[in-house]
Amino acid sequence: MTSIDLAPLPTMPDCRALRQDVRDFLAHALADRALPARARSWSAADPAFSRALGGKGWIGMTWPSAYGGGDASALERYVLVEELLAAGAPVAAHWFGDRQSGAMLLRYASEAVKAALLPRMAAGDLYFCIGMSEPGAGSDLAAIRTRATPVDGGWRVNGAKIWTSGAHLAHLMIALVRTGDGTDTRHDGLSQLIVDLKAPGVTVRPIVDQMGDSHFCEVFLDDVFVPADMLLGTPGDGWRQVNAELALERSGPERYLSSYPLIEAVIAALDDTADEALVAQVGHWAAQLWTLRQMSLSVAGKLAAGDDPMLEASLVKEVGARFEQEVPRALQAVWDGTGLADADGALHEALHFLLGASACFSLRGGTREVLRGIIARGLGLR
């Protein structure tokens, strides 16, 4: 049986000054942000907040300074992201660009495209979304049907994407499309294109989720022209590229901190008379958080070293999503007996939101069953 290689942990640089800087910035920037809004975590967007963060050099901070980045290490970015998520900061506008699209551009885009896009992304002015899923092709991503046909100077794209987070705010989408001649196998003949969401033929329609929020969309592509230099990497190599991209989105702190603002609010409300079961629950959360952080950091170290830890990243996402979902459920189970101070009802409102919203934590970024399949295969069990 294959083992899961989560050790050794990377050496953390001394990030205390950075951590304090971020905390000071957030204490001011989020002073008026109430708990129910913070509970929306990384699905909430605020372009003004993103621009302020960009002004601090905290978007694309690992990118080379030649492209507007900060030449920082992946672990420094990890500290920044921990603080943003712990505070429930509205990061969604720049989130996908910072987490993965920027890295994809650095790996695969032409010099001219990198120079044109990355500095604007780092400034918090230009947002990306991820166009992988399609109606009928979610977990089975190789079933995508959106097709790009070569034309003079580029590609003509037809098809539809779905569940595209932030497409209503984004300027550009990295879309996985078919560019083969139709005789390819499922995994061949796929490519990644940067699609301008303001181009003629693009329609973006927000989807309202069960909590009444609209953070993801349908994107229809009807004869959309994409210039040749907006192809990322090598035509036909999209399957390999997209799988490496998925490892970037499955193992970060966002995979276990989505319910964290609720934990912090519970801790703030505890006093000497606190219910014993609740105190024990908080201890249980703290132990799980610590373990998840060690696992996630280990994957961050592997990613920074240029490895492709798909198995380990899937494990972090699966265990982390289970934790994020358990937090509101566990609080609900003890809520009536706790007598927690909640004069303005904010704690109750945040709990109500997370009980509903957390259903999607084990869907987004790859469903629970699919991740368990990857883990089982990685362990040689199937």
Q: Which of 58, 216, 256, 323 binds ligand FAD (CB under 6 A)?
A: 216
Q: Closest residue (Cβ) to ligand FAD?
A: 138
Interface with ligand FAD includes 358 (CB under 6 A)? no
CB contact at 8 A, 208 and 201: no
Cβ-proximal residues to 185 (8 Å cutoff; 6+ apart), any chain: none
> How big, in percent rounded to 5, are the helix, strand and coil portions of the chain?
50, 15, 35
Positions 115 through 174 that interact with ligand FAD (CB under 6 A) = 129-133, 138-140, 163-165
Q: From the CB of 372, what's the least distance to ligand FAD, in Å?
A: 8
Q: Min. distance of Cβ 68 from ligand FAD in angstroms? A: 24
DSSP string, 185-215: -TTSSEEEEEEETTSTTEEEEEE--TTS---
Rounded Cα gap, residues 313 and 325, in angstroms: 18
Residue closer to ligand FAD (CB basis): 75 or 170? 170
Pairing of strands 172-178, 128-131: parallel
- Provide DSSP, 63-101: S-GGGT-----HHHHHHHHHHHHHTT--BHHHHHIIIII
364 forms part of the interface with ligand FAD (CB under 6 A): yes
132 vs 289 by CB, closer to ligand FAD: 132
Q: How far is the CB of 270 from ligand FAD (least distance, A)?
A: 31
Residue 41 within binding range of ligand FAD, rule CB under 6 A:
no
Closest separation in Å from C-beta 163 to ligand FAD: 3
Two structure tokens written together for 295: 């696992």
In this structure, what token pair is assigned to residue 260? 């964290």
Nearest CB to ligand FAD, comparing residues 87 and 321 = 321
* Residue of 73, 158, 288, 367 interacting with ligand FAD (CB under 6 A): 367
Residue 216 CB, nearest approach to ligand FAD (Å): 5
User: Residues 201, 148: contact at Cβ < 8 Å?
Assistant: no
Binding site for ligand FAD (CB under 6 A): 129-133, 138-140, 163-165, 216, 360, 363-367, 369-370, 373
